Amino acid sequence: MSPYKTFEEYNLEVTTEVKESYSKIITELGEDVSREGLLKTPERAAKAMLFLTQGYKQDAVEIIESAMFSEAYDDMVIIKDIELYSLCEHHMLPFFGKAHVAYIPDGQIVGLSKIPRVVDVFARRLQVQERLTHDILECINTTLKPKGVAVVIEAAHMCMMMRGVQKQNSVTTTSGFRGQFEKIETRNEFLKLIGSHLS
């Protein structure tokens, strides 16, 4: 299956079982699934869930390998402020925020758009932020084989904001570093650059 399937193509994969499951859930919550406002809700919810979990049917390695190029450039490449939206695997509630990714090439670079695509592949699965950070980091590290990789994710979690402790302004930050980014000076350069506002 192509890693670039569109939302419309995914709509075709909505199954009767998923729609029926949502219908049962709505009924169990005490609602009337046959009333006008809810008639199409099970189908819409099924389509939304398939879209939000499409990462299971995509291959992040294939995405990187589709746009790798030989290049002598060996300084830091940073793609920051990559929007991400995922679902917490514990409550299936959204968490969302930004990913910052950097790598130092070792003879190979990758098309810039492929890094956000890799973020999306892993974000569009049931996740915890810690594993999401690790998945992105290891995929780039093992596929591109750069001199170093760094990933920082900052996200707000609806499971903390809407339920449980109900803390509205908390942000969770996770990070991972490989290769040259394990050196404190390289890591600090990366952290300084993702925190700056370049004009």
Looking at 9, 31, 89, 182, which residue is catalytic?
A: 89
Query: Is residue 197 flagged as an active site residue?
Result: no
* Residue 159 annotated in active site: yes
DSSP label at 180?
Answer: G
Least confident of 32-36, 96-100, 161-165: 161-165
Query: Does the annotation mark 139 as catalytic?
Result: no
91 is catalytic: yes
Separation in Å, CA 3 to CA 56, 114, 135, 136, 153: 10, 11, 17, 16, 23
89 catalytically annotated: yes
Check residue 1 and give its pLDDT: 44
pTM of the entire structure?
Answer: 0.88
**CA 144 vs CA 20, 21, 43, 139, 148: distances in Å:** 42, 41, 39, 8, 10
pLDDT band, residue 9 (cuts 50/70/90): low
Q: What domains lie within the chain, and their CATH numbers?
A: 7-52 (1.10.286), 60-195 (3.30.1130.10)
Task: State the average pLDDT over residues 116-135.
Answer: 98
pLDDT band (50, 70, 90) for residue 168: low
Asked if residue 110 has pLDDT above 60, the reply is yes
Query: Quick one: average pLDDT of 115-143?
Result: 98
Which member of 62, 138, 159, 189 is catalytic? 159
